[in-house]
Amino acid sequence: MDNLCFYRLKTLLLCQTFLPLFFKLQSSAVHLLSMFHKYSSPDRAKHQKIRIESLYLTMRDGVRLAVEILFPLPAKPGQKFPVLLHQTRYWRRPDLRWPVSLFSQGLLGHEGGYVKELVLSGYIFVNVDARGSGASFGNRPHPWTANETADGGEVVNWILKQDWANGQVGTVGISYTGTAAEFLLVNQHPAVKACMVLFSLYDVYDDIALPFGIPHRHFISEWGRANQLLDENKLPIPDLLPRLLVKGVRPVGGKKGRAELKAALHAHKDNLQVSETSAGIVYRDQQPENKVVESMDDFSPHHFQEKIDGSGAAIYSVSGWMDGGYQHAAIRRFLNTGAQNNKLMLGPWDHGAKFHITPGKGHKLDIDAVREGVKFLDFYLKGVENGFDREPKVHYYTMQEEKWKTADVWPPLGSKKQVWFLHENGGLARELPEQKQGSDVLRPDSQQKTGFDSRWRSLLSRVKTPHFYPDRKERDQLLTTYDSVPLAADMEVTGHPIFTIFVRTDAADGSFFVYLEEVTPAGHVNYVTEGAIRAIHRQLTDSPEYRDVVPARSFRKKDGLPLVPGEVTKIVFDLLPTSYLFR
């Protein structure tokens, strides 16, 4: 049996509990995908260079936005191109110091690479510093304001008047800019035909600010600090070399624009950071203390789904299994978008697809998510008959099996639910325990953490290795674990594991964390996925905010329910989705 692996289910609870638990898995078998990642645009060989122009555009309220237009070269005289709009909060382009500025256009790093690929595939790329950021004027009371969304519509109107635009407009973005791309659709502009949302949230509350109802304090603090540094024209990167090479955001018009840049930066002093808007928030419908919005839903894409559907644009949602909780966000977007031309891709990636991550195996990327995006854009904006419309709606990757698969729905058809039970002495099995009753005592330990190289720190681009969660074996020594016997056959877990516990505690609230892991024949422990819940948010609802495939809870104040000390309480919650082959 030395060639078989174990399941491991691990629990960390931040209140004292007595636990008999039940665990559900989903497995599936679907068609494998061939030739998925071989696409190259027919226009890719035509263009080798990029020309960049910059200017200010004045919006309806007098606020001026810094805009750059990236043109593919060579181009024929008078040639018109489809246009991609990109609204960013993270500087449209850095201002490089001499002598680096002599040989670099400033399209740096991972995101610079994807911009180059899009432009050289035959698209004009209009890159905008969102109002209140970069070299743009104005201020930012919170992310994705109504003014920022309306700005996007005005920029599209301007694009259509240019002699280089052919009337076909798309929008793309990663993370913040992906959400900005989705919000552009709220304008329902008829020229915007395609939207590619990569590694981005869908529900601000549950996907990033308070995942599982638990405040995401580290992200909120660090993201807010990074944005504040950007607003001060400082690079929020601890590495010395990038800070030596970059002055700040690039002024419009180069050196001549430094006076205007100084004025724009002065306006940014009125920006409010997300930490101010989320301070003290417990419930979805709770108004922030600064009262800049009624609730977080005011800048959450899910809250605008009807208007997004009304745009008629094709939407391609892309995420990775280690992309924080955004793979669930991508699934939610896919499930709730009414358009027929709505597709989903879930890969073995971290945030932004910097690494291919299979636990215990991390290695280089074997698929370029951006080139798959080019296939999508070519079909909807250029009319290229590349077969995109004939492909299944869902592409997903099964880790350890190391294969791409397809489906037309999520979860894939053919899924079978399995129930697993916790047993005495740390056992985990499909058979019911012989004892009718049983319990384990777990004591709270607020010092336990998931480690540095985690899915959550990936959201801040802080993980520099494909080897996520390298120390799970050591961390397990401090946690309660439940192991299966070695598996007799391979088993695929694809979908959303569901966890049920019965709790008796001496506290009125607490946070419960569960991790699903693989124990290899050599004794290595590989992290697979995790789930959690804050006890006061445990109540399920029959009126969910949106369609989902997991137990629904509102996270609203009316449904908040403290635990009753000494009383046994049932709690059901989901783990983040995955596709993993246990061998």
Exposure string for 545-573, b = 16+ CB within 10 A, e = fewer: beebbbbebbbbeebbeebeeeeeeebbb
Residues 6 or more apart in contact with residue 141 via CB below 8 angstroms: 271, 272, 292
Rg from Cα positions in the chain: 24
Encoded tokens for 75: 């181009």
Coil/strand/helix, residue 24: strand
Distance, in Å, from the CA atom of 299 to the CA atom of 201, rounded to the nearest integer, reads: 11
Task: Give the CA count within 13 Å in the CB-facing half-sphere of 405.
Answer: 21
Q: Is 323 a catalytic residue?
A: yes
* Residue 176: burial class (beta carbons within 10 Å; 0-12, 13-18, 19+): buried
Q: Which residues pair with 63 in a beta bridge?
A: none
Give the E-state strand segments of 206-335 in sequence order.
Answer: 246-249, 314-320
Encoded tokens for 365: 């990327």
Q: How far is CA 566 from the centre of its chain?
A: 39
Task: Tell me if 468 sits within 8 A of 362, measured CB to CB.
Answer: yes
Task: Give the CA count within 13 Å in the CB-facing half-sphere of 557.
Answer: 6
Sign of CA dihedral 42, 46, 49, 55: negative
Residue of 95, 203, 206, 323 marked active site: 323
Count of residues for the chain?
Answer: 583
Question: What's the N-to-C CA distance of the chain in angstroms?
Answer: 12
Residue of 133, 175, 300, 554 marked active site: 175
Residue found under tokens 């709770």: 286
Encoded tokens for 192: 């915007």
Query: What one-character-per-residue DSSP string does 444-482 give?
Result: --TT----SSSHHHHTTT---SS--STTHHHHHTTSEEE
Using the 8-state DSSP alphabet, how is residue 380 labeled? I
Q: Is 175 a catalytic residue?
A: yes
Distance, in Å, from the CA atom of 94 to the CA atom of 106, rounded to the nearest integer, reads: 6
Task: Give the CA count within 13 Å in the CB-facing half-sphere of 176.
Answer: 22
Q: How far is CA 240 from CA 235, 244, 356, in A?
A: 10, 6, 27
Q: Is 95 a catalytic residue?
A: no
Encoded tokens for 328: 């669930």
Task: Tell me if 450 sits within 8 A of 506, measured CB to CB.
Answer: no
Q: Which residues pair with 502 in a beta bridge?
A: 570
Encoded tokens for 283: 């419930």
CA angle 377, 381, 386 (to 5 degrees): 60
Distance, in Å, from the CA atom of 17 to the CA atom of 93, rounded to the nearest integer, reads: 52
Residue of 302, 351, 395, 496 marked active site: 351
Q: How far is CA 371 from CA 25, 171, 286, in A?
A: 33, 15, 41
Residues annotated as catalytic (active site), given as ranges? 175, 323, 351
